[in-house]
Amino acid sequence: MADTGIFTMDTLRTAACRFTANTTIIYFNSLFSTVFDRDSEPCIGSRLLDMVPEAFHADLAALAGLTPQNPSSSVRIPIVDGKGGSIPLVWDCKADFTPEGSLRFITAFARPASDDLNYRTAIESLLKVANDPALDYDARACGILTCARNYFDMDTAHVERLSEDGAFTEVDQRGLGDITAQDRQSIPLADTALGLLIDSGKVLAVPDIGKTPHAALSEKAPLSPVALLASGIYVNRKLYGAVVFASNRPRTQQFSSQQTQYCTLVGQWLGFIIEQHRFLTELQLRERKYRHLFEDAPAMISILDASERISDVNNSWLTTLGYERTSVIGRRVTDFFAAPHANGPTPELQHDVHNVPLDLVTRDGQIVQSRLSTLGSTEATSATLAVMVDVTERNRVLLDLTNIRKTLTKANEELKRFNAIAAHDLQEPLRKIRLFGGILKSALKDTANPEIETAIEKIIDAANRLTTLVKDLLLYSRESERSYARQKVNLAPLLDEAINDLALIIADTDAQIRIFDLPEIEGDPVPLQRLFTNLILNALKYRREDINPEIEIFARTGAEESLELIVRDNGIGFKPGEERKIFAPFVRIQPEKSSGSGIGLAICKSIATGHGWTIRAENRAAGGPTSSSPWIGKRPQEPRRRQHRTNTRPRASVRRNRHEPPEPRPN
How far is CA 439 from its chain centroid? 84
Same domain, yes or no: 257 and 167: yes
| Boundary of a domain, candidates 113, 148, 175 | 113
- Rounded to two decimals, the pTM is 0.46
Query: Given a cut of 90, is residue 347 above it in pLDDT?
Result: no
pLDDT digit string (tens) for 78-102?
A: 888 887 777 778 888 999 999 999 9
Same domain, yes or no: 514 and 629: yes
Dihedral of CA 145/151/155/159: which sign? negative
Same domain, yes or no: 226 and 164: yes
Higher-confidence residue of 626 and 430: namely 430
Query: Given a cut of 60, is residue 202 above it in pLDDT?
Result: yes
Q: What is the pLDDT of residue 612?
A: 87
Same domain, yes or no: 416 and 321: no
E strand intervals along 449-490:
487-490
For the chain, what percent of residues have pLDDT higher than 90? 24
Query: Given a cut of 90, is residue 189 above it in pLDDT?
Result: no
- Does residue 663 lie in a domain region? no
- Does residue 380 lie in a domain region? yes
**What whole-number distance in Å separates Cα of residue 96 and Cα of residue 24?**
15
Same domain, yes or no: 90 and 140: no
Rounded mean pLDDT of 355-379? Answer: 86
- 199: domain CATH number? 3.30.450.40
| Boundary of a domain, candidates 350, 369, 390 | 390
Give the pLDDT band (50/70/90) at residue 436: confident
Rounded mean pLDDT of 634-649? Answer: 37
Give the list of residues 6+ apart from residue 267 with CB closer than 8 angstroms, or none: 231, 232, 233, 234, 242, 243
pLDDT digit string (tens) for 60-74?
A: 999 999 999 999 988
- Does residue 287 lie in a domain region? no
Q: What is the pLDDT of residue 589?
A: 66
- Does residue 1 lie in a domain region? no
Q: What is the pLDDT of residue 314?
A: 92
- Does residue 135 lie in a domain region? yes
Same domain, yes or no: 239 and 163: yes
pLDDT digit string (tens) for 447-477?
A: 767 778 788 888 888 888 777 777 777 777 6
Rounded mean pLDDT of 201-227? Answer: 74
- Does residue 549 lie in a domain region? yes
- Does residue 291 lie in a domain region? no
Greatest mean pLDDT range, 51-55, 153-157, 511-515: 511-515
Same domain, yes or no: 512 and 594: yes
Rounded mean pLDDT of 628-650? Answer: 37
Same domain, yes or no: 57 and 97: yes
Higher-confidence residue of 644 and 523: namely 523
- 412: domain CATH number? 1.10.287
pLDDT digit string (tens) for 374-399?
A: 887 666 567 888 999 999 999 999 99
- 304: domain CATH number? 3.30.450.20
Domain range for 617 is 484-657
HEC string for 570-603: CCCCCCCCCCCHHHCCCCCCCCCCCCCCCCHHHH
pLDDT digit string (tens) for 246-257?
A: 888 888 888 888
For the chain, what percent of residues have pLDDT higher than 70? 83
Same domain, yes or no: 635 and 489: yes
Rounded mean pLDDT of 341-370? Answer: 80
Rg (CA), the chain: 52
pLDDT digit string (tens) for 416-429?
A: 777 667 667 777 78
Query: Given a cut of 70, is residue 159 above it in pLDDT?
Result: yes
**What DSSP designation does 21 have?**
T
Higher-confidence residue of 422 and 622: namely 422
Answer whether 228's CB lies under 8 Å from 195's CB: no
Same domain, yes or no: 474 and 497: no
Give the pLDDT band (50/70/90) at residue 5: low
Same domain, yes or no: 191 and 161: yes
Q: Burial of 437 by CB count in 10 Å (0-12 exposed, 13-18 middle, 19+ buried)?
A: buried
